[in-house]
Amino acid sequence: MQKTIFILVLGLLAGGWTGCTTSRTADEPHFDAPFQAVLLDTGLVYYGKISGLGGAYPILKNVYYIQTSTDPQTKAVSNVLIRRGNEFHGPEFTVLAARHIVMIEPVGVNSKVAQLIAEQEKKK
């Protein structure tokens, strides 16, 4: 009798653990858009393909960011989309600390950012 109760309790615990793990991955956001905008608590915004949102360190691949510059003569502001990976260390992906992510949004397929990314992808 005690052995039966022990096995029953052990089975319930194992089933509960499996359910907990499954529900955590089911709660992870899913994005239909190919790229996501990731806002960090530093104010930086990266654009890329995010994975591993259930963990402490999601990974962002095909990473882009916008570099803003002001012409000192005309005061005109220009924004240029830069692809990460051209730096001296040539990163292939960026690991983010989840605690520093403020929000994640899909990049609209018809947005200016999506158009600029598509242009850069064609150049590769």
64, 47 contact by CB (below 8 A)? yes
Give the start-to-end residue ranges of the domains of the chain: 1-28, 31-123
Average pLDDT over residues 104-115: 95
Mind listing the pLDDT tens digit for each residue in 78-102? 989 999 988 888 889 999 999 999 9
Q: Say if residue 11's pLDDT is above 70.
A: no
Rounded average pLDDT over 19-42: 74
CATH T-level fold of 31-123: SH3 type barrels. (2.30.30)
Question: Which pLDDT score is estimated for 25?
Answer: 54
State the number of CA atoms in the 13 A half-sphere of 24 facing the CB.
11
pTM of the entire structure? 0.73
